[in-house]
Amino acid sequence: NAGVTQTPKFQVLKTGQSMTLQCAQDMNHEYMSWYRQDPGMGLRLIHYSVGAGITDQGEVPNGYNVSRSTTEDFPLRLLSAAPSQTSVYFCASRQQGSNQPQHFGDGTRLSIL
């Protein structure tokens, strides 16, 4: 079982470039989420999805887009990268139900120059 797989693990972008962070899970989980982690600020929710075709904004959605065309995949798109988006990005998934634990990918370390 691969669990939650994120690609790439590292990425350096120039300001203004766009890119997509990939996230895939093989556990048939309905819920998927994207977080960013900055020093001293914990994990902040960017976007989440409760099922295929359904997405919603989290705490810090500006500058990011998501889509959920399949249960397995939940890509995160940076439309025009800015230095403020330099961060570590984590994707997570869980089964439906608020008492279910989240399973995290290994993260993508993104630097915007």
Partner 1 sequence: GQQVMQIPQYQHVQEGEDFTTYCNSSTTLSNIQWYKQRPGGHPVFLIQLVKSGEVKKQKRLTFQFGEAKKNSSLHITATQTTDVGTYFCATARQLTFGSGTQLTVLP
Using CB under 8 A as the binding rule, whether residue 61 contacts partner 1 is answered as: no
Return all residues near 86 (Cβ < 8 A) that are at least 6 apart: 110, 111, 112
Closest approach of partner 1 to the CB of residue 93, in Å = 11
Question: And the tokens for 13?
Answer: 């972008």
Residue 102 makes contact with partner 1 by CB under 8 A: yes
Among 22, 45, 65, 75, binds partner 1 (CB under 8 A): 45
Residues 5-44 that bind partner 1 (CB under 8 A): 31, 33, 35, 40-44
* Cα→Cα distances 103→16, 62, 84, 86, Å: 31, 24, 26, 23
